[in-house]
Structures are given as structure tokens and as C-alpha cells.
Structure 1
């Protein structure tokens, strides 16, 4: 961190005796407005839009061009004063309007729509946890019960489809 900006979002700080403090304050507010709980129009865009509107944001792609050059993977937001950029930090999230899903920065890149966690609870009840080992499909036996086998096979197929057990 330098003495004139914050460590995480690089917001400008006021200094004692600084003239025109409103300039630094307004710049900090503009950056906060763009990059705190950001909503982006798209993820991985390399070419800046021709006619952005104030307040619109994007997640820059891996090979940016034009005024976005040198800002790969950054959040880019348009203000009436031009482009503002935010270097993402690990764990930063943005709502992606293009996919109606969340984008997450993992320290090296952005991923969209991937839910990460150790388990899923709904109203305090665990419904999904770590994937269990495979279950063998029914076959053979001395008494053939086609309906039971069909039902068990359908259950196994559903569990496989949902990723709850290995195939």
C-alpha cells in the first residue's frame, strides 16, 4: 500500500493539507460505486465497448485490446470521467448479467456459475455432501423382479446424473 491509496481497492486517500480534497473523495466514491458488489455485463471481454454508459462494468478477458490493454482479468467500469479499473483479489465476486450467475476470482482467473462448498443445506438440512463411491447396478439373482430392478436402475441413474455417486 502506498501512503495515498488503500491496500485492497486502491481507493485514493486524503492527505493533510491536500488541496481540492473533493477530487480524491469523489474518485473514491466513483470506484466504490463501480467495484463494491459489482454487477458486470459480461465476463472475459477483450475489446472495450464503443458506447458504454456510466456505471456499466465488465470483467476484462485474458488478451485485452485498446484502452483495456494491460488490464487482463481486471474489472473495468465506465464513468463520465472515463475508464476505471480494479485489480481483482482472491475471493472477489461479481454478478454476471450475461449468464445470470456469479463470477468468482480464484487468484488466477474468473469462473462463472460454479458453486463451491463442502455440503449443501436447505433450511438446515444437509441435502448434498461429498460424492460417495459407486453402487453396482442390480443384475442376476434367483428371482427376477423386473419392476424392482427398473425402479432401482432409475434411482441409480438419477443419483449418477446429479453427481451424488460415481458412475
Structure 2
């Protein structure tokens, strides 16, 4: 970052008395068009596609080549003026178009499909919260309790499968 770039997205800033301000302004708008409500075709691609369309974006992989060299982890967007890149920053998010899942950047790595939350509410009612401690599977009782034990064990297995309690 320089004094000529914004702090978060490294957008070019206009300077007083600067000639051809429209070039800097248009460059900033092109980068915003890539970064704001970003959507990407693919995550982790190392080589630019052969025939990108204006507005299409990709998240560059860890070993970029060609026009993407030196842009590992960046969002690469194809524009009428060529490739533009938004550097990876913690908190940057993009929708992965093929899966519909969100990808988020921790500053180094992009993670797709992970949702981080303290709890999940549906219509204002908490349906998932922090994981509870493991529940002991019943192991004793009379023969008449066999069906109940099987039922409870099945419930416990499903709760564990869904990650709601420890195994």
C-alpha cells in the first residue's frame, strides 16, 4: 500500500491536481466491481482461462502462472482492459457460482462452504448451538428395555452424525 492507495482494497486514490483523474477513478471502479459482492467461477485455479468474459472472476491458486503470476490467492477479474486483481484479505468473501456456497479468506487461505457461527436461528428460534458433551449409551436393564435402548442409540448416532454432540 502507498499513500496513493486505499488501506483495505488498495484502490487507487485521486491526488489534488492530478491529470487524467478518470483513469484512476475508472481503475478503482473496476476493482470495486470485482470485490463487492464477489462471485467466482472457480477457486484455486493457477492458469488464466483461455476465453474469459468481461465480469467473470476466479480465485487464483497457490502456484499461479502466465498473466496471473505473483497473484496467489487474489480474486482475478477479467475486464475490457484486461486482468484486474484484488489481493486476498482477511474477511474477503465470494460466492462460488457452481456450488452456490460462500468462500471466505482468512488472509492466506480461501475456505469454501464453511459457516462460522455461535448459534443458528430459524424464525428467531435457536435450532443449533454449541456442541454439547457426549451422552452415554445405555448398557443395562431388563430385556423389555432392548427396544428403548436401540431407539436411544439410534438417536444418539444421528446427533453425533450431525455434529450436535461428541461421539
Q: When the two structures are superposed, what TM-score results if normalisation uses the length of structure 1?
A: 0.94
Secondary structure of 1:145 counterpart: helix
Is the CA contact 2:89–2:108 (under 8 Å) kept in the aligned structure 1?
A: no
Deviation at 1:126, TM superposition (A): 1.5
Is the CA contact 2:88–2:108 (under 8 Å) kept in the aligned structure 1?
A: no
How far apart in 2 are the matches of 1:71 and 1:128?
Answer: 38
1:76 matched to 2:76? The reply is yes
Q: 2:136 aligns to what?
A: 136
**Residue segments in structure 2 that go unaligned for 5+ positions in a row:** none
1:48 matched to 2:48? The reply is yes
Alignment of 1:102-141 (within 5 A): 102-141=102-141
Q: After superposition, give the CA deviation of every residue in 1:107-156 in whole Å (9 maximum; x if it has no partner).
A: 22000001112211212221112211211212221353232122212211
Q: 2:32 aligns to what?
A: 32
1:9 matched to 2:26? The reply is no
How far apart in 2 are the matches of 1:139 and 1:38?
Answer: 53
Secondary structure of 1:144 counterpart: helix
How far apart in 1 are the matches of 2:144 and 2:53?
Answer: 68
RMSD: 1.3
Q: 2:67 aligns to what?
A: 67
How far apart in 1 are the matches of 2:13 and 2:107?
Answer: 26
Is the CA contact 2:74–2:88 (under 8 Å) kept in the aligned structure 1?
A: yes
1:163 matched to 2:166? The reply is no
Q: 2:85 aligns to what?
A: 85
Secondary structure of 1:78 counterpart: strand
Secondary structure of 2:104 counterpart: strand
Q: 1:148 aligns to what?
A: 148
